């Protein structure tokens, strides 16, 4: 297995910023998000041939070995990523994907040489993006989602300390060169000028509202933006769900508004489950209709679960 690198964290935690910087390295080929590939790798039901077809569709074809020489989907994945790095003239590969956070143990056990970088960010800055993407339906549930994901990341880091580096987004944008040097030392790469001047280079990622800052120099003022957008009640709800994990990471709860009662917390959780069930039922129904319609013309369709947002404050 190649000495690969996986970058992960909750969404909107700064993984794209680090990806943009490391893409400037002459010793590391970086690939952005592969989404469902992780599920295929570790589901236990995906064959090498099936994964090969999926990777071909993602532009990761042309492995150096034939399929008959590949013993497992993980070996195929590593071979394809290594080949892509070699084609780019680089000896190692890196994958940035927040979804990796759900498969950390799987990757650690199946790829013994892989290293991990986990980026965390203040939940008060992340919670709104969970609502905007539809991954949570109210502020308390957004906080609980962040706390659950980050707690899992911290537990993984404790188990694999020698293979895992933890970064705080706030430290990265405040002292970018110093934190980037930590990353390079951990990965075993020299720090290069192109990595520092990441915002002047096009790495091929699609720019949207959530990652537009990768085209700008590091801006420490971003760390305090959440203060301008959260109401007292929203702040109290987020901190009520995240306070314990926040303090582990050096973030200080600041709300002066009482948090939700035990009953209201259960109401928030119920609301979150009901909205998710509604979205799932609707998405499943419409996906079936769309698939049947498009099958007549030999096409397939996909459905975005984040197309509808339920909000409860």
Residue 205 belongs to a domain with what CATH number?
3.40.50.300
For residue 312, what pLDDT is reported? 43
For residue 136, what pLDDT is reported? 84
> Could you give the CA distance from residue 248 to residue 77 in angstroms, rounded to a whole number?
35
Judge if 170 and 295 occupy the same domain.
no
Q: Report the candidate in 93, 101, 99 with the shortest Cα–Cα distance to residue 118.
A: 101
Question: Considering the domain boundaries, does residue 253 fall inside one?
Answer: no
Q: Token pair for residue 299?
A: 């096409």
Judge if 167 and 269 occupy the same domain.
no
For residue 282, what pLDDT is reported? 78
- Looking at the chain, the whole-number percentage of residues with pLDDT higher than 90 is 64
Q: Token pair for residue 28?
A: 């590391």
Judge if 144 and 205 occupy the same domain.
yes
Question: Considering the domain boundaries, does residue 21 fall inside one?
Answer: yes
Q: What is the rounded average pLDDT of the residues 309-313?
A: 44
DSSP characters over 189-250: ----HHHHTGGGS--SPPP-TTTGGGGS---GGGGGTHHHH--HHHHHHHHHHHHHHHHHTT
Q: Report the candidate in 65, 33, 34, 26 with the shortest Cα–Cα distance to residue 48.
A: 65
Judge if 269 and 146 occupy the same domain.
no
Question: Considering the domain boundaries, does residue 56 fall inside one?
Answer: yes
Q: Which residues contact 287 (CB under 8 A, 6 or more apart)?
A: 301, 302, 303
For residue 199, what pLDDT is reported? 82
Judge if 138 and 203 occupy the same domain.
yes
Phi, psi of 138 (to 5 degrees): -155, 165
**Per-residue pLDDT reduced to its tens digit, 196-232:** 998 887 766 666 655 667 778 888 988 998 999 899 9
Q: Report the candidate in 151, 153, 145 with the shortest Cα–Cα distance to residue 269.
A: 145
Judge if 20 and 44 occupy the same domain.
yes
**Per-residue pLDDT reduced to its tens digit, 230-281:** 999 999 999 999 999 999 999 999 998 999 999 999 999 898 888 878 877 8
Question: Considering the domain boundaries, does residue 258 fall inside one?
Answer: no
Q: Which residue has the higher pLDDT, 285 or 1?
A: 285
**Per-residue pLDDT reduced to its tens digit, 108-117:** 999 999 999 9
Contact 81, 2 (CB under 8 A): yes
Question: Considering the domain boundaries, does residue 150 fall inside one?
Answer: yes
State the residue for tokens 């236990």.
Answer: 44
Judge if 36 and 184 occupy the same domain.
yes
> Could you give the CA distance from residue 115 to residue 162 in angstroms, rounded to a whole number?
9
> Could you give the CA distance from residue 268 to residue 274 in angstroms, rounded to a whole number?
10
For residue 310, pLDDT over 50 is answered with no
Q: Are strands 164-168 and 29-32 parallel, antiparallel or unpaired?
A: unpaired
For residue 286, what pLDDT is reported? 63
**Per-residue pLDDT reduced to its tens digit, 108-166:** 999 999 999 999 999 999 998 888 777 788 999 999 999 999 999 999 999 999 999 99
Q: Which residue has the higher pLDDT, 67 or 80?
A: 80
For residue 264, what pLDDT is reported? 92
For residue 308, what pLDDT is reported? 41
Judge if 135 and 226 occupy the same domain.
yes
Specify the number of domains making up the chain: 2
Judge if 165 and 244 occupy the same domain.
yes
Question: Considering the domain boundaries, does residue 65 fall inside one?
Answer: yes
Q: What is the rounded average pLDDT of the residues 181-192?
A: 96
Residue at a domain's end among 202, 225, 248: 248
Question: Considering the domain boundaries, does residue 313 fall inside one?
Answer: no
Judge if 77 and 202 occupy the same domain.
yes
> Could you give the CA distance from residue 155 to residue 1 in angstroms, rounded to a whole number?
25
Judge if 34 and 76 occupy the same domain.
yes
For residue 309, what pLDDT is reported? 43
Q: How confident is the model at residue 178 (pLDDT cuts 50, 70, 90)?
A: very high
Q: What is the rounded average pLDDT of the residues 87-100?
A: 95
For residue 301, pLDDT over 50 is answered with no
> Could you give the CA distance from residue 306 to residue 187 in angstroms, rounded to a whole number?
35
Name the residue range of residue 270's domain: 263-307
> Could you give the CA distance from residue 162 to residue 154 in angstroms, rounded to a whole number?
13
Q: What is the rounded average pLDDT of the residues 5-25?
A: 93
Question: Considering the domain boundaries, does residue 123 fall inside one?
Answer: yes
For residue 284, pLDDT over 80 is answered with no
For residue 129, what pLDDT is reported? 82
Element (H, E) at 32: strand 29-32
Judge if 175 and 267 occupy the same domain.
no
Contact 188, 171 (CB under 8 A): no
For residue 22, pLDDT over 90 is answered with yes
pTM, to two decimals: 0.84
Query: Rounded mean pLDDT of the chain?
Result: 86
């Amino acid at each position: 297995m190649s000495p690969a690198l996986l970058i992960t964290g909750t969404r909107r935690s700064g993984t794209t910023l680090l990806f943009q910087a490391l893409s400037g390295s002459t010793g590391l080929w970086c690939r952005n998000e592969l989404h469902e590939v992780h599920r295929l790798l570790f589901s236990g039901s995906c064959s090498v041939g099936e994964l090969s077809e999926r990777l071909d569709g993602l532009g990761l074809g042309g492995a150096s070995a034939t399929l008959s020489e590949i013993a497992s989907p993980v070996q195929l994945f590593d071979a394809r990523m290594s080949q892509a790095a070699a084609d780019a003239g680089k000896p190692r590969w890196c994958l940035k994907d927040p979804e990796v956070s759900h498969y950390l143990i799987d990757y650690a056990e199946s790829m013994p040489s892989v290293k991990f970088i986990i980026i965390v960010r203040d939940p008060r800055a992340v919670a709104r993006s969970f609502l905007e993407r539809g991954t949570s339906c109210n502020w308390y549930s957004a906080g609980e989602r962040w706390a659950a994901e980050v707690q899992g990341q911290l537990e993984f880091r404790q188990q694999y300390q020698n293979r895992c580096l933890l970064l705080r987004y706030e430290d990265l944008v405040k002292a970018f060169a110093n934190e980037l040097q930590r990353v390079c030392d951990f990965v075993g790469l020299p720090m290069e000028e192109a990595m520092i001047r990441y915002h002047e280079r096009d790495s091929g990622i699609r720019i949207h509202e959530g990652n537009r800052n990768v085209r700008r120099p590091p801006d420490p003022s971003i760390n305090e933006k959440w203060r301008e957008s959260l109401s007292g009640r929203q702040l109290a709800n987020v901190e009520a769900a995240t306070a314990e994990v926040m303090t582990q990471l050096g973030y200080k709860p600041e709300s002066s508004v009482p948090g939700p009662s035990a009953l209201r917390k259960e109401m928030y959780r119920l609301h979150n489950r009901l909205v998710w069930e509604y979205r799932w039922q609707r998405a499943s129904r419409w996906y079936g209709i769309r698939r049947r319609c498009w099958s007549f013309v030999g096409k397939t369709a996909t459905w975005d679960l984040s197309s509808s947002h339920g909000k409860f404050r």
